Structure 1
Amino acid sequence: MLKYIFIFLFTLSAFAQNDSVAPQNISVISAEKLNVVYRGVDNPIKIAVPGAKSFTATAPGLSPDESKGTGNYILNPGAGTEVIVTLVAQMPDSTSKVEKKAFRIMGLPPPDGTIEGFENEGLHLKMTKEELKNAVISIHLPNFLFEVKIPVVEFAVKIPRHKIITVEGNTFPEEIKKVLAKVKKKSVISITHIRYPSSPNAMPKRVTPFTVEITD
């Protein structure tokens, strides 16, 4: 299930024309622990400013998520350890209120290799030959806060009594499917050296390999 970082602004530091108003502390509620965003991926953020006629939100790497509608944003932070989201709200009395919200930037956790549709089955899967032949090799971020799609561009497969074969893409070509069709029950297939496109803002990390035991 997709989770969001929520920013609710109940009171803001006010800046009215020709007035000097002392900054006030705001109440911020976040759906995620420690107000963290992750480098190299699209972090979904939802922002609401109760009582405002309109508001704008700006930050490096922040853009509206038009597919989700008003108040929904994507934040893809770059270098550094912190990113600041600045909100400017237009209030009904024509005054402007401004607030800055800081998020810590962290790198992604080490990813696990898996078969699409088996994200919660761990690093040793049990499948039939037919299921494996039609499998899509994918990447899973264990215990992550929201869904991230990371495409697989290459992987290696080790079938008993055969050499390791490197495959481009995320599915088995016909020549490997023919070999898989002949493997015996309880044979263990290893999927290793899984590669994905590296983001210019994220350090690439090794994908944990996994194994598949043939059940039928």
Structure 2
Amino acid sequence: MAGYKETPRQKMISMMYLVLTALLALNVSREILTAFVIVNESMETTNKQFSAKVEEIYADFEKQYTINPNKVGEYWDKANKAKKYSTNFVDYLNYLKAEVISQTERITFEEADTIDLARVKAKDNFDQPTNFFIGSDTKRGEAESLLDSITTFKENMIRLIEEDDREGFDLGLKTDGDYRDQDRQKQTWAQHNFYHTILAADITILNKFIAEVYNAEANVVNYLYSSISEEDFKFDTISGEVLPKSNYIFKGDEYSAEIFVAAFDTKQDPEVFILEGADTLPPGQIDRAKKIDTKNGKGIYTLPASSEGTKKYAGLIRLTTPWGATKDYHFKHEYIVAKPSATISADKMNVFYRGVDNPVSISASGKADAQIKPRMTDGHIVRTDKGWVVRDLSASAYETTIKIFAEDNGKEKLMGQKLFRIKRLPDPIAKVYGASADGKITKKKMLTNPFLLCSMPDYVDFEYDYKVMSFTMIIPKGGGYISTEKSDSKMFTESMKSQIQALKKNDVVVFQDIKVRGPEGSRKISSINIIIN
């Protein structure tokens, strides 16, 4: 078992560590902090996937232990020790993450234990994290304790490996490298990882350690699992198994399932009998059942899904034992036949607007998001970081249909469709910053913010930043006279400011010919009246 090659998981961890090291060499800017957050999120996602994969190995291991506890028990006990060592170490690393965030961000441990790195304000702080990990003349830093924990973890894990196989068995978590700073001065492992390292990098490094722990755990448990000979449990406890391709079947499709004897010799084909609509198949009623074809120890059961609803069947697997007798293993199963269906809804309004991104939610029954393929009769629907959006709607179209297709057994199936209206984005409402809802404002406030802005009407649940391009200001002078001034931007001109300064209480200022730039170009919007308070 010696001479291990680097696994894909190890290669990915190494690649992420190279990215992290490169980021540490750069000056800290907003872009660099954002990059740390992205790398950290990727590490956290990877860790969840690693953990799930390891749990799958344990599930298979436990199944074999249940079949033959006497022969698998030794390896299963070692696997449980590996799980304990890994769980305890990951818990400790998660504690370090929460504690350093708590001390640096000055929040409670409970808050720090759940906060996302993106929401941490002190991501670029390195003084407190350095004090936490490196310590001082009077205080031992946590990095030394972490180094001790890594050493202990690796010693415990390697003891689970047979002595002859330990050489070359890679557990990762290297701590004995030739560590140097940017000036090529020698550093300890703790200094190399945590001295003057910003909080964002520390959290990412700790998550990288978690990934290596899971990788080490997977390597050890896989080693233990492969140490079990398949023939050890070939003829032990046997149970009938049904593995359908899907429990959720669309009308017009076929239901397909593999029925076989678990952990049995595939050289012997059993007899499989099935009775549709039943909960059990007693041996005395086997003449009512249908015998299905078998190959390599499996029975393949296929029937058309011609009607909707919950379907069930029961059966038995008849097997010839090594000593020539026959033995029956009973099974039952049920599945659902349903019409294809999809849900399509606009997130903001019940219409789509031209020139902007319109968020939309789509889903299909029984299908993962990655299997969904939407299409439109006008415009385009694309997936973004925030979800699906509709865009590029043509000026001549007034409605469009979204059709949802999904992958189904290697083909595309239409799951549903929905018609949407297409409209021009509504005109915004011009405003003077600081004015009340009824248009009243003091001269001081008006001159403090000498510009026009605009926002969407309250009835429009949609955000778009219209830009004011020009406007005309009119001030009635009495006697039928008015003063008119024009601005070619959103700002008040100096002449406008002078006239506003001379206004009295209850004087009215009219802003008209307001031109704004929107998603489809420029347009004029309604005038507004402002009353001096």
> What TM-score does the superposition give when structure 1 sets the normalisation length?
0.68
| Structure 2 equivalent of residue 43 of structure 1 | 358
In structure 1, give the amino acid aligned to 2:465. K
Specify whether residues 130 and 88 from structure 1 end up closer, same or farther in structure 2 by C-alpha distance, changes over 3 A only: farther
For residue 509 of structure 2, what is the aligned residue in structure 1? 189
Other-structure match for 1:172: 492
Q: Deviations over 1:93-125 (max 9, x none)?
A: 54433343321112344543223576x92xx41
**Residue of structure 2 aligned with 1:128, choices 431, 435, 442:** 442
Structure number with the higher helix fraction is 2
- Residue 30 of structure 1: SS of its match in structure 2? strand
Distance 2:402 2:253 in 1: 17
- Tell me, what secondary structure is at the counterpart of 1:183? coil
Instruction: Give the Cα–Cα distance (whole angstroms) in 2 for the partners of residues 108 and 12 of structure 1.
Output: 39
Q: Of the candidates 94, 97, 101, which is equivalent to residue 413 of structure 2? A: 97
State the match for 2:465 in structure 1: 149
SS in 1 for 2:446: helix
Cα 1:61–1:152, aligned 2, differ >3 Å: closer, same or farther? farther
Question: Would the aligned equivalents of 1:13 and 1:97 in 2 still touch at CA under 8 Å?
Answer: no
Structure 1: 5+ residue runs without aligned partners? 1-10
Q: Is the 8 A contact 1:15 1:96 kept in 2?
A: no
Q: Which has the higher contact order (CA 8 A, sep 6+)?
A: 1
Rg larger in 1 or in 2?
Answer: 2
CA distance in 1, matches of 2:358, 2:400: 12
Conserved 8 A contact 1:83-1:102: yes
Distance 2:375 2:489 in 1: 37
Q: Which amino acid aligns with 2:494?
A: E
Bigger Cα displacement from structure 2, 132-141 vs 25-34:
25-34
SS of structure 2 residue aligned to 1:130 = helix
Distance 1:41 1:168 in 2: 26
* Contact 1:81/1:105 (8 A) holds in 2: yes
Q: Deviations over 1:79-102 (max 9, x none)?
A: 2221123433335x5443334332
Q: Which has the higher strand share?
A: 1
The alignment partner of 1:153 has SS state of: strand
User: Which runs of 5 or more structure 2 residues have no equivalent in the other structure?
Assistant: 1-248, 255-303, 307-337
Cα RMSD of the aligned pairs, angstroms, is: 3.9
Deviates more, 1:186-195 or 1:144-153: 144-153
TM-score computed with the length of structure 2 as normaliser: 0.31
Amino acid in structure 2 at the alignment position of 1:131: K
Match of 1:71 in 2: 387
Q: Show CA shifts across 1:34-80 (max 9, x none).
A: 942123443232334463251333434335474xx252314342222
> Structure 1 CA distance, aligned partners of 2:250 and 2:519?
35
